[in-house]
């Protein structure tokens, strides 16, 4: 069963942008694509352990939404969390849904 937590209002993160939200000690990178797709993944880079994923460059690789880590440019799928450019652990992904003007993230 998913437990949904309100992260932000939809107008707080414009299409094409990314940001970070925090629930307790958990930092989550939140990504809003131009076509209104939303994704959420752990913010901690598995390569160096720094909270920088939400500062990365977003785009599509072979029609898959990706983020490139701000430090070393390793690309991660925003759907599966899998690293597409190196043998690194996958990012934890979190389901996202929109209810009204709220962006909700499931932490379970």
| Tens-place pLDDT, residues 40-95 | 999 999 998 999 999 999 999 888 999 999 999 999 999 999 999 999 999 999 99
Whether residue 108 is predicted with pLDDT greater than 90 in this model: the reply is no
Phi, psi dihedrals of residue 29, rounded to the nearest 5°: -80, 130
d(CA 63, CA 27): 26
Question: Mean pLDDT over residues 23-52, rounded?
Answer: 96
Q: Strand order of the sheet with strand 75-77?
A: 57-61, 64-68, 75-77
Domain 4-106 has CATH 3.40.50.1980: no
């Amino acid at each position: 069963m998913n437990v949904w937590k309100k992260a932000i209002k939809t107008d707080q993160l414009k299409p094409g942008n990314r940001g970070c939200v925090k629930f307790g000690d958990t930092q989550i990178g939140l990504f809003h694509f131009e076509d209104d797709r939303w994704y959420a993944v752990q913010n901690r880079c598995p390569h160096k352990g720094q909270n920088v994923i939400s500062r990365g460059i977003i785009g599509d690789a072979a029609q898959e939404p990706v983020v490139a880590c701000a430090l070393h440019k390793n690309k991660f799928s925003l759907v599966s969390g899998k690293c597409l450019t190196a043998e690194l652990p996958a990012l934890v992904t979190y389901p996202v849904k929109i209810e009204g003007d709220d962006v909700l993230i499931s932490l379970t």
